A and B are shown apart, each in its own frame.
Chain A
Amino acid sequence: MGNADPIARRLRDLGFVRGETIKLVAQGPVGGDPILVQIGFTRFALRRSEAARVRLQPAGETA
């Protein structure tokens, strides 16, 4: 995630950082967009384009 991208910066502020576990909770009714993800105690609705900025690894592996 580049520092110049305000959306990426905000995502990082909200806790989307290396080593956190993310769970997909729900998907929007049309085209599965937006998605609802749980990170820590918090649930965020993200559009897929926003979520694409987060790099994921399958659960179980460490970052």
Chain B
Amino acid sequence: MSTLESALRIALVGNPNCGKTALFNQLTGSRQKVANYAGVTVERKQGRYTAPSGRTVDLLDLPGAYSLDAASPDEAITRDVCLGIAAGERRPDLLVCVADATNLRLHLRFVLEVRALGLPVVLALNMMDAAARRGIRIDIAALERELGLPVVETVAVRRAGAQALVERLDRAVAPSALPAPEDLHVEVRRLLTLCVSMPSSTAATDDAIDRVALHPVWGLVLLAALMFLIFQSVFSWAEPLMEGIEGGIKALGEWSVQSLPQGPLRSLLSDGLFAGLGSVLVFLPQILILFLFILALEESGYLPRAAFLLDRLMFKAGLSGRSFIPLLSSFACAIPGIMATRSIQDPRDRLTTIMVAPLMTCSARLPVYTLLIAAFIPEQTVAGVFNLQGIVLFGLYIAGIVSALVVAFVTKRLYRDRSEHVLLLELPSYRVPHPRDLLIGLWERAWIFLRRVGGIILALTVLLWFLSSYPAPPEGAVGPAIDYSFAGRLGRGLEYIFAPIGFNWQISIALVPGLAAREVAVSALGTVYALSGSDETIAAELGPLIAGQWPLATALSLLVWFIFAPQCLSTLAVIRRETNSWRNVAIAAGYLFSLAYVASFITYQVTRALT
């Protein structure tokens, strides 16, 4: 072996939700997403660490698989890498088969399948702490002997919990010499009898929680209450923080342009950067609160339960309970949501889920919703406890969900699909989310958001400022300078298309850069209004400004537009990649645009007739 190839290539394999990614993070120091449900990892991830001997190890994290007889796209990735038939990928030198020590009956079967591949295999018995708590005792020496594989204990979520594994991997491992058993299940039963003693088959707390959480009535009540609580909190908890950020930005904006002379630089800073970026930055607290809930739910193991409760409803609508988690992730962003559909076995269920995922209200739409709701919906308390603005926000989310169900239903009808679809979903044990993991998750989300603000949103805002400021108006022109600029003319042109749904030229302009990132629609409005107003207009106050200028019908129409509009090029790109078809992209963009236009048209005309 040449020195260049001397890095040892190790792949982590195992059943879904056994802790492969947590081990991967522990070994390589990465921060790949981990959560408590099957199918978090849907693509191969690569990392690297240095063994105590100084040898470099290339570590591959693979999606979980119940069997090498792959049933879904993510399982196929694992199969191909293990068999060495993945395109452009060298077969691993060694496999670490990870098994959940509390779930050995299921997981050992896969271990036997992996052992038969003929590669050197090390078995990592993960979650040994949970096994010990439940009184499960495993005779490691006997298991090693009977399996013919080295076996190490790990606790992937604990610091240094993978130390034994690192040390074992540093020594030579030979492929198992034992013949493959005729019936894997018989062999698993033999191994369990010989090596494992367990007092009871489930955790008592799981049973107790599930009696309520899966109850036909209380389960649904709990789910609805939980969802409602999330949207109430997004609105009411974030408010003081948002006011703080808003005030800070305004003060900073005023202070920093104070010493500058009138001119392009001053305009760029106050109209472009502070008016544009500031209006987006304000939404950081709301996005973090939303993510706090999503992260906690993901960690707890509740999400597959919700999928169980909703399966029938989603099946009627042409989806599957399996679509629930990808669709819920789409509330954060449709891109990871669409990628998460790889764990859906049925190709048609998967395609339908991908097509409706953009209807889930992603966090980038939150700034638009919040801006409009705060400006147009009075702050009132309904029935003593509920915040009216929170209820409207909840309603917008519900509108997205309902339209997704309707679209899925129509799709099912169009394809006249009567074939069988599968659910087959494993429900994991509950886990209390670890505060440290939640904080790391939130920190990462905050960082991603700030990078977006400092990257694409900043770039587009500056570009828009330029297009809205040049060419400068001719001498002696009347009216705001923006009327003479590129953006002003473009907006006036687009207004012909959007006037029937109530959008003025400022909104029409803002929709264009919103294609690259939805939040930019807000920052673009900030910039456009700052430039079209008189010099004294203080730009940070976009909300009161539009509240005074737009009719209610326009605001509602814009809200409805954002439920549907396919205004995100990255989402369209991911649809193209995951379905490998431009046709699907065209269908998605076409139907979303038509729905948006029709729904906004109705909203605008009806509201105008009523007010």
A residues adjacent to B (C-beta < 8 A): 6-7, 9-11, 13-15, 17, 19-20, 25-31, 33-34, 36, 38, 40-47, 49-50
Q: Decide: A34 and B104 in contact? CB cutoff 8 A.
A: no
> For the complex, is B32 an interface residue (Cβ under 8 Å from A)?
no
A9, A17, A26 — which one has the most chain B CB atoms within 10 A of its CB?
A26
List the B side residues contacting A13 at CB < 8 Å: 66-67, 69, 109
By a beta-carbon cutoff of 8 Å, the part of chain B in contact with chain A is 66-67, 69, 71, 102-106, 109, 185, 189, 198, 201-202, 210, 214-217, 219-220, 304, 307-309, 311-313, 315, 321, 420, 422-427
- Which of B67, B189, B202, B304 lies in contact with A41, CB distance below 8 A? B202
B311 contacts A47, C-beta separation under 8 Å: yes
Assess the A10–B67 pair: CB atoms within 8 A: yes
Q: Establish whether residues B103 and A30, one from each chain, have CB atoms under 8 Å apart when the complex forms.
A: no
- Return the contact of B424 from the options A25, A30, A38, A50 (Cβ within 8 A): A50
Q: Are B217 and A15 in contact (CB under 8 A)?
A: no
* B424:A44 contact, CB within 8 angstroms: yes
Contact present for A42 and B423 (CB under 8 Å):
no
Q: Which of B104, B106, B313, B427 contacts A45 (CB 8 A)?
A: B427
B401 to chain A, nearest CB (A): 17
List 9 A-B pairs, minimum CB-CB distance, nearest first. Answer: A40-B105, A29-B216, A13-B67, A30-B312, A26-B214, A45-B425, A43-B427, A45-B308, A41-B103
Residues of A within 8 A of B312 (CB): 28-31, 33-34
Q: B105, A14: Cβ atoms under 8 Å? A: no
Interface centre among B185, B198, B308, B427, by most chain A C-beta atoms within 10 angstroms, is: B308
Closest to B104 in A: A41
* In contact, A6 and B71 (Cβ under 8 angstroms): yes
Tell me whether A29 and B106 are in contact (CB under 8 A).
no
Query: What are the residues of chain B within 8 A of A20 when measuring CB–CB?
Result: 185
Whether A42 contacts B321 by the Cβ 8 Å rule is: no
B313 contact set on A, CB distance < 8 A: 30
Of chain A, the residue at the smallest CB distance from B320 is A47
In the assembled complex, which residues on chain B have CB atoms less than 8 Å from the CB atom of A40? 103, 105-106, 201
Contact for A17 among B185, B308, B420, CB less than 8 A: B185
| CA–CA, A15 and B189, complex, Å | 11
Are B427 and A10 within 8 A (Cβ)? Answer: no
- Docked-complex contact B315 and A47, CB < 8 angstroms: yes
In the complex formed, the residue of B with least CB distance to A27 is B216
Which single member of A30, A44, A47 contacts B427 (CB below 8 Å)? A44
Closest residue to A33 on the B side, CB-wise?
B312
Find out whether the CB atom of A47 lies under 8 angstroms from the CB atom of B106. no
Query: Measured between alpha carbons, how far is A50 from B185 in the docked complex, in Å?
Result: 20
| Cβ B422 vs Cβ A50 within 8 A | yes
A46 contact set on B, CB distance < 8 A: 423-424
Q: How far is the CA of A7 from the CA of B426 in the complex (A)?
A: 15
| Residues on B with beta carbons closer than 8 Å to the beta carbon of A47 | 311, 315, 422-423
